[in-house]
Structure 1
Amino acid sequence: MLESTIILIDNSEWTRSGDYTPSRFAAQADAVNLLAGAKTQAHPENTVGVLTMAGKTPRVLVTPTPDLGKVLNCMNDVEIESECNYSASIQIGCLALKHRQNKNQRQRIVMFVGSPISEDMETLVKIAKKLKKNSVAVDVISFGCESENEEKLAAFHQAVNSNENSNLVTVPPGPVLSDVLISSPIFQGEGGSAYGFGGSGGAGAEGFEFGVDPNMDADLALALRVSLEEERARQNAAAPAETSAAGGDATGISATPSAAAAAPTTDMELDEDALLQQALAMSMQVDQEEAAATPAGTVPVATPVAPGAPSAAAPADAAMFDVEDEELRLALSLSMQEAEPEPQAKPPSDSSGGK
């Protein structure tokens, strides 16, 4: 929906209260940033403006603009002071919407109410009827003083609502303000699903993958799809590494190449058995270089032990194992000697056959 929105911020002294985490004003600022992002993402020509309601007079910080950065930056300049003038703020916000550049945009005011409303009910209803006559929809978020303002805001919402184009959301202390608003009609009814929140406002977006209509936001749909495919590929690559380390000796060749491909970059995924095989292979290579008198029978033993790990991983992993520790080298040599009888069992069998 093509729309121009002006957000009315409650920056009164009441917003210093800490009944909302971390405070009323901080929770409100997070919700404003999230709401502005949802509005600008819903349609490329949507505009968002910001107006503060407290102080000597309501002040327009940002006129309706499609630049989300301006809205986010202006929140850093908001000062907390005195009390809110709700009636004047609503009328100034309506005037800002009237001077929007694109007259095809629908007009909407989003008002945060975090302090008691000083105006009487008749004044609010009168203003609401004028807004309805000028086709201005109003969303009201009541928090902090929801019980004091309940009756006035209910009358205001009833007077301004036209064909369910306006919403009144009351958020009690406890839950995070922005989390409650994400699931409210304020987000769902105004392109919230196009921003990734899901909901009924996405014109059938629930029937699409990830809840995003590719015709409305092709870039977002593509990014979500690529992210999902990368995650699946990562999980598929990690699964063979775990299974090959545990049962690579029993399964044989099929699991070994996958583990070998993952070994150079994912050493932490190898279990103790695979690391032990690499340690034995490297220890054998060190013994062959440093001990020239090593029997020739040791050379063939190095080849059958190495298949548990790729040859390219040995130089990278050599720094991980301290081969200078004599006790460790001795233990590895003893383990190698225990493994030697299997490949060298043939010569004794030949000699016995000769007898």
Structure 2
Amino acid sequence: MSDVAAVAGVSHQTVSRVLNEHPSVRGETRERVLAAITSLGYRRNSAARALATSRSTTLGVVATGSALFGPTSTLIAIEGAARDQGYFVSVATLHRYDAEAMHEVLEHFMAQDVEAIVVIAPQDDVAAAVETFRAPVPVLVVAALEHVPAAAGTTPAGPTTLSLAVDQRAGARAATEHLLDLGHEDVLHVAGPQDWFDARARAAGWREALEARGVVPTRPRTCSWAADDGYAVGRDLAEAIAAGEGPTAVLAGNDQLALGMLRAFWERGLSVPDDVSVAGFDDVAGSAYFVPPLTTVRQPFEVLGQRCVAMVVAALAGEAVPTERIAPELVVRSSTGAPPVR
């Protein structure tokens, strides 16, 4: 910083103000300092900065190691939003979820002096492991939890446990209502694994939409998140649909399940949406290019990441931070239409 100050012809304090984006620096002076920084190849010394400010500006993120779209997109969004706010991210990937594993992660993060911990917790066993957390910093759980873990944090007066998620229930409800509004008298739900919070919330939203219209929900078909399971379910349904006896509309638990069903229906010679409408969930990259383009529910992961970091920053400032649910968006494409005449 002293070298930058000498080249720019300013004080050490002015360089510090420019680096910290202080509003009191004149534009011409700021540009001169930034030019000196570029010419000298100056980089902040993060370790020295942490010592000087007693802040690590580091967030610990617990991830499950899942390659599935939702958890991966959540991790990427949090890292990007944290970097935009000047935070570093330290990621710990877990492959087992118990008190011992969580204790190891906590020790790992505390050794790095993280300011807060974010847990991406899509499944029951991950949330149960969070119950064992005794962190001296705020903990934010990213999941469609039925409740915020009561045991997390240190004491009622200590660091807070926060909860944030995309509103999975509202998304499934909107997709189901869309199909009912098209004239379908019932909607079959092909659900994801029921040890996932998102899968249960989506099933609940589907059920609520049907019951609000006076429709008694049929039992959902439950499977994994994989396209091959969607294909297997689609093959089971195809004969009945071809005979005019199967469902006229299907809400898939995610876009991969929908993709598998589209393949199975195509192989049987069924037309989507003329013979059966199909909707998905997630709006994965490429879903607009399925055949036909898929009606689905888009999860705003960028907003999720931004809100995650904003909640952590607010908690660190001692502000009250309520549980938050972020609204998804229904994206209507040509895989859904009016029911066939039977």
TM beyond 0.5: no
The structure with the largest alpha-carbon Rg is 1
Structure whose residues are more often helix by fraction: 1
Q: Which has the bigger relative contact order, CA under 8 A and spacing at least 6?
A: 2
TM bracket (short chain): 0.3 to 0.5
